[in-house]
Structure 1
Amino acid sequence: MDTKPAPFVPPAPKPRTVPPSTLEMMRIVYRNPLELWGEPSYNEPWISVTGVGGPLVVANDPALIRHVLVDNAKNYKMATVRQKILRPILRDGLLTAEGDVWKRSRKAMAPVFTPRHIFGFAAPMLKRTNEFVDRYVDGTVTDVAHDMTMLTYEILAETLFSNEIAGEPGSFASQIDRLFETMGRVDPLDLLRAPDWLPRLTRIRGRKSLAYFRNIVSNTVLMREERLERDPNGVSQDFLTLLLKAEGPDGLTRAEVEDNIITFIGAGHETTARALGWTLYCLAEAPWEREPVEAEVDAVLAREPDPTKWLDAMPLTRAAFEEALRLYPPAPSINREPIEPETFNGLYIPPRAAVLVMPWVVHRHRKLWDRPDAFLPERFHPGNREKMDRFQYLPFGAGPRVCIGASFAMQEAIIALAILLSRYRFDTVAETKPWPVQKLTTQPEGGLPMRVTKR
């Protein structure tokens, strides 16, 4: 007789049954876009409507997603609304650049994210995580969401910047929260495609935090340049050095170098941090899933000292992380706009249409997943993972603009989870009542207060 408990269903907005009014829709989009989507979005292969900002296509069908992101990617540019939100923060960083600027940046960064380089990051990832976990005090309650932000920041600083980022790490987490709380929101004027000269309240409120990050970047670049001048052979060939070496007439401009640094400092660590926090939360609420993960971690750490082997050696740990990525995709929307109108399998995609590939919706679609709202890591166990369509699971995007740091993030996450779960158990407390909110990333409103107990 099967006595396994019913699967844990983590918090998420219920699909709307009645479309919102225009005013209500703008309020929802500003407050939390995840609460906007209705039942048709979770059941239909696509939605095509004309909204306040013009034509809108929500793409859920994996074949349509593949067409937009891969097969006919050359006909799609970054959506206007998305650029209005992100460009003021990231400017010509890899996430927002297009055309030749994007190609130059991608080429400059590619050497850092080869398998050889990523394996080389495993030891410092392990070192930083062990040092971080040493700070925990047995039995205390801590905000795990904040902790994971700090942990991934420290890993990023160690691996990509050789621990040479200007500024004080303690203020980093609060400043990035402030930046995403303000400039990371959809401004109603952007939704209406209002002219850029009209002031946006979100950007005005976020100026101080943005200036903080820009100052960190410029000081970090100056520090590294001074070191390169003093001892060019004694400086690590890390992400920062490679970007500076790519600067020049045929490479990156100084502004593009700084834009890519702020992209990786501001957004590169944030996505992994959010996914780690949600994973620890889901495992805490599903202890029957946590127990085999802990057993796997203990067994692998006892026999395999090489952290580069852990990703392949821990399929249950990886499955729990991937299931958390499905339920709470760190980047919940991928936005495109057609350069030329076209028709796909009877769907007309008009000029200037906002084409939304929403991992949040696709990952919970009723026609693509069994019990889509439940936390079921077994979906990603060996033998099951291979049955999925490549374009129904998009935590790192797809196509030419797939996340360049995906392998880095997966290795980082499994090393971090292995150390965290081998040394401590994370349990929810009465105050643990997170609510997923979209502010560039899928964040837990109210944080993730959890009790940390030595194992």
Structure 2
Amino acid sequence: MDMRPEPFVPPAPLPRSVPPSPLEIIRTILRNPLELWGEPSYTLPWIKTRFFHDSTIIVNDPGLIKHVLVDNVANYRMADIRQLVLRPILRDGLLTAEGEVWKRSRKAVAPVFTPRHAKGFAGQMLRQSEVYARKYEAVAGESQVFEIASDMTELTFAILADTLFSGEIVTSSDSFAEDVNALLHRMGRVDPMDLLRAPSWVPRVTRIGGQKVLDKFRTIVRETMDARLRRMAADRGSAPEDFLTLLLDRAATGGLTNEEIEDNILTFIGAGHETTARALAWTLYCVANSPHIRDAMEEEIGRVLASGAEPVEWLDLMPFTRAAFEEALRLYPPAPSIDRAAIADDSWTDSKGEKVDIHAGMTVLVMPWTLHRHELYWEKPRSYMPERFFPENRGKIGRFQFLPFGAGPRVCIGATFAMQEAVIVLAVLMSRFRFDVTEKTNPWPVQKLTTQPQNGLPMRVTERTVSLSA
């Protein structure tokens, strides 16, 4: 008899059983696009539909996803709505640039994020996690409620600042989490003018309140660049060989323009850590509602820490902890949609001989949100079950079935960095503290560029009575 408890089913919109009216579509997209999708999006391999006279195909079939994102990637550009939302924030940063500009940026940034280089950041990730843990240690012996979603934003920002900018971002992180939330709330969402495909110069009323915080981020970037340039001019050898210096060197050799460097720095400061922060918060929430999983994680973390293993080894030595994080990435993918548009007519045929035609101009939505909860590809798709990602089960998950970091040439360049960071953060925090839900912990996933908990994630943090470290 299987004595395991029923898995936790975390909150998420139920599939719509009735198609929404045009007015309802607008309201839902403006409020929370995750609430838009109906039962076919979670049960069929693809669906063709129309949004405001635009032909759209929602793609869930892994083979068709591979065709769009890899095999015939040259035929697909960024979708218009995506660019109307993101380009005002990031301009020609890595997430929004296309063509030659994207190729230059990717080539400039890639050396920092090779797996070998990313592993070199493990010590800094550990140090910043331990420093942040002191926030909770300050209430040693007591339980106190903290806003975990904001805390994870602050922590991942501290890690990003230390690893990529050697701690030399010209800003105070005191209000950083609030600034990021304000930026994404005001700027990282669809405006009615976007749905009407209005030119970018037409004012977006919903974003007016976000311009001030965007200007603040731009000022931070420029001051950070200027400070490093002064240091490099005074004594090039004293400047750290980090992400910032690498980009500025690229400007000196003509690889990137100053504007492109600014855009890429803003991309990493404003969004580079945000995806990991959200996934960490959702992981702690799901684990708090799954005591048997938490027990197994605490045992694994304690055993590895007691062995004296270096943090660079933790990702490989903590498969249960990694699986817990990956399952949260499945249920709450930080980037819930990948939007493309076909440049020329295209077609694809599945293994049964059924042909799918995609005509020029059609919007193609690859939806990790629906793909990761799809009934064709996952057992109990709405349940939190980390065992899906145990080493012995990973082979059952297709490469294009699980897309938390995208796929193809535009796959997230920081995937290895993020996975290593997540395991180190979870190991440090869970070795010392218990995170529990409270009566006010009532998160609801909302798409605002990333998948965020609308009501926040207040959780009770208690120091553990047994030390698990060596």
Q: State yes or no: 1:255 paired with 2:259.
A: yes
Amino acid across the alignment from 1:111: P
- For 2:266 and 2:16, the matched residues in 1 are separated by 36
- For 1:209 and 1:53, the matched residues in 2 are separated by 34
The aligned runs of 1:73-112 (5 Å cut-off) are 73-112=73-112
Give the superposition deviation at 1:305.
3.3
- For 2:81 and 2:195, the matched residues in 1 are separated by 6
Provide the residue aligned with 2:315 in structure 1.
Answer: 311
Residue deviations 1:34-87, cap 9 Å, x none? Answer: 000000000010011122151111000000000000000011111111000000
Amino acid across the alignment from 1:39: E
Provide the residue aligned with 2:298 in structure 1.
Answer: 294
> Which deviates more, 235-244 or 112-121?
112-121
- For 1:194 and 1:60, the matched residues in 2 are separated by 29
Give the superposition deviation at 1:248.
4.1
Give the superposition deviation at 1:436.
0.2
> Which deviates more, 165-174 or 125-134?
165-174
- For 2:116 and 2:65, the matched residues in 1 are separated by 31
Give the superposition deviation at 1:349.
1.1
**Partners of 1:53 and 1:191 within 8 A in 2:** no
Provide the residue aligned with 1:328 in structure 2.
Answer: 332
Give the superposition deviation at 1:340.
0.4
Which of 159, 167, 174 is 1:170 aligned to? 174
Which of 343, 367, 371 is 2:376 aligned to? 367
Provide the residue aligned with 1:25 in structure 2.
Answer: 25
Secondary structure at the counterpart of residue 142 of structure 1: strand
Residue deviations 1:6-43, cap 9 Å, x none? Answer: 11000000000111111110110011000000000000
**Partners of 1:396 and 1:406 within 8 A in 2:** yes
- For 2:198 and 2:258, the matched residues in 1 are separated by 31
Q: State yes or no: 1:207 paired with 2:211.
A: yes
Provide the residue aligned with 2:54 in structure 1.
Answer: 54
Amino acid across the alignment from 1:254: N
Provide the residue aligned with 2:352 in structure 1.
Answer: none
When normalised by structure 2's length, the TM-score is 0.95
Which structure 2 residue ranges, 5 or more long, are not aligned? Answer: 350-354, 465-470
> Which deviates more, 188-197 or 168-177?
188-197
Provide the residue aligned with 2:197 in structure 1.
Answer: 193
Which of 405, 411, 414 is 2:420 aligned to? 411
- For 1:70 and 1:44, the matched residues in 2 are separated by 22
Provide the residue aligned with 2:467 in structure 1.
Answer: none
- For 1:378 and 1:413, the matched residues in 2 are separated by 18
- For 1:401 and 1:437, the matched residues in 2 are separated by 24
Provide the residue aligned with 2:359 in structure 1.
Answer: 350
Provide the residue aligned with 1:394 in structure 2.
Answer: 403
**Partners of 1:53 and 1:192 within 8 A in 2:** no
**Partners of 1:53 and 1:193 within 8 A in 2:** no
**Partners of 1:94 and 1:105 within 8 A in 2:** yes
Which of 447, 451, 458 is 1:442 aligned to? 451
The aligned runs of 1:36-47 (5 Å cut-off) are 36-47=36-47
Amino acid across the alignment from 1:450: M
Secondary structure at the counterpart of residue 299 of structure 1: helix
Secondary structure at the counterpart of residue 95 of structure 2: coil
- For 2:194 and 2:121, the matched residues in 1 are separated by 39
Provide the residue aligned with 1:130 in structure 2.
Answer: 130
Residue deviations 1:108-152, cap 9 Å, x none? Answer: 111111223212110011000001001112411001001000000
Give the superposition deviation at 1:193.
1.3
- RMSD value, Cα: 1.0
- For 1:376 and 1:51, the matched residues in 2 are separated by 34
Secondary structure at the counterpart of residue 2 of structure 1: coil
Amino acid across the alignment from 2:265: I
Secondary structure at the counterpart of residue 381 of structure 2: coil
- For 1:2 and 1:17, the matched residues in 2 are separated by 33
Secondary structure at the counterpart of residue 361 of structure 2: coil
Which structure 1 residue ranges, 5 or more long, are not aligned? Answer: none
Give the superposition deviation at 1:192.
2.2
Provide the residue aligned with 1:339 in structure 2.
Answer: 343
- For 2:202 and 2:96, the matched residues in 1 are separated by 21
Provide the residue aligned with 2:229 in structure 1.
Answer: 225
Q: State yes or no: 1:269 paired with 2:273.
A: yes
- For 2:446 and 2:330, the matched residues in 1 are separated by 15
Q: State yes or no: 1:70 paired with 2:79.
A: no
Give the superposition deviation at 1:196.
2.8
Secondary structure at the counterpart of residue 140 of structure 1: strand
**Partners of 1:144 and 1:277 within 8 A in 2:** yes
Amino acid across the alignment from 1:372: P
CA change 1:249–1:203 in 2 (3 A) is: farther
When normalised by structure 1's length, the TM-score is 0.99
Which of 433, 439, 453 is 2:442 aligned to? 433
- For 1:255 and 1:203, the matched residues in 2 are separated by 22
CA change 1:28–1:126 in 2 (3 A) is: same
Secondary structure at the counterpart of residue 273 of structure 2: helix
- For 1:20 and 1:194, the matched residues in 2 are separated by 23
Provide the residue aligned with 1:179 in structure 2.
Answer: 183
Residue deviations 1:395-447, cap 9 Å, x none? Answer: 00000000000000001000000001101010000000000000000000111
Give the superposition deviation at 1:3.
2.4
Amino acid across the alignment from 1:255: E
Residue deviations 1:331-379, cap 9 Å, x none? Answer: 1010111110212222221221110001000000000100000000000
Amino acid across the alignment from 1:62: P
Give the superposition deviation at 1:249.
6.2
Amino acid across the alignment from 2:15: P
- For 1:347 and 1:192, the matched residues in 2 are separated by 27
Runs of 4 or more above 2 Å deviation: 194-198
Secondary structure at the counterpart of residue 135 of structure 1: helix
- For 1:450 and 1:197, the matched residues in 2 are separated by 42
